[in-house]
Amino acid sequence: MLDAFLGNNLSAQRSARMFENANLAGAAHIGDLAVNRQHGNQARDLLRKTFRNTKWPPVYSFKAVSYNRGKQKNETQELSMLLPHELVHSLLKLNEPEELMSRQQALLRNRADLQLHLEKMHNFGLDAAETLLTGLWVDAVPFNSDRSQSLETVVLNVLCDSTMRYPLISSMDFFLRQRQEDKFISKLFSAKAGEARALVPCMIELANKYLDMSKEHEATMFRACQALQAIYNGLSTATWDVHRFQENVQKFLLFMSSLEEYYKADLLFRVKPKAHMLLECSRDETDEGTSPALYWTYRDESFGHTLAILAARRGGKFSIKAVSKAVLLRFLSANKVPRLEASK
């Protein structure tokens, strides 16, 4: 039941009622949770009880300029966050530094790009053998039923623990960016990143079945599908060819830009800013090149969906402060500080 509450599957009020009924029925070890108050903040009470003897760091709050949807303007509001160096310190409470570095070295064997970054650290007086690598993922994921609001998230990852993600900040409307209320939303197709990636192989089959190659614009669609499939087919280590990758990227982006121009009035095709990132990867002039497979973020996207579930409100004030604090507290309550094994 506690997992259901922390996973935001049950409201705090219902969880407290179930704990009380279970206690009355004679269930063991839940007496401290069986406090079903008619008044007061039951969600806060349950979360506080899960934090006893925790090894996680405290949640801090600070003032940040954010966007107020009700007033349609930017204003200063309170936002909750975790500090990255304190999260790393929590890891060190249960893991020896030598174990973390051993795991990192094992992962670096196949990452020449990260080894190059470590070598450059000597210019800053850092010892690569004692430097723990971390990364940040920053994005926004829809978290309400009609996808009209996004949970803007900053997530920390530690290289030695590639499966775990740690939210630093997670709320809505604190990214200061240009906002366009009248956005074009396609109703024809919608998919998550991982789902869309899995659909790439079937594009050629659909193109063969439905496109008329005698029409120039449909033939361009078919060639764009071929180029995209060729890009994905060449991303694995076994099939990676930097020159073929550069050629296919250039073809794909040229086809897409021409389709965008052709269907400009209908908005059927749009070349998004990420196309520039793909082009930059293809322009790497080193012998190894830059494969997008080294940098894609499907695991982070999945974690963003997890945070979106934790952010859903089941009552109480719907504000930047409330959402950001609830996400962090629920995550910390539902997860223990990982204890890692040394890599062999």
Q: How does residue 186 score in pLDDT terms, banded at 50, 70 and 90?
A: very low
Q: Tokens 């121009």 label which residue?
A: 261
pLDDT band at residue 90 using 50, 70 and 90 as cut-offs: very high
Q: How confident is residue 190, by pLDDT bands cut at 50, 70 and 90?
A: low
CA 95 – CA 106 distance, rounded (Å): 16
Mean pLDDT of 225-254: 92
Rounded to an integer, the average pLDDT of 290-315 is 80
Over residues 245-300, the pLDDT tens digits come to 999 999 999 999 999 999 998 888 988 888 998 998 898 877 788 888 877 777 78
User: Has residue 338 got a pLDDT over 50?
Assistant: yes
The pLDDT of residue 344 is 54
The reported pLDDT for the residue numbered 142 is 82
Give residue 185's pLDDT band: very low, low, confident or very high (50, 70, 90).
very low
The crossing angle, in degrees rounded to 10, of helices 112-120 and 97-108 is 120
| DSSP letter for each residue of 148-189 | -SEEEEEEEEETTEEEEEEEEEEESS-S-----SS----SS-
Q: What is the mean pLDDT of residues 160-164?
A: 84
User: Is pLDDT at 110 greater than 90 in this prediction?
Assistant: no
Look up residue 117 and give its two tokens.
Answer: 């970054």
pLDDT (0 to 100) of residue 62: 92
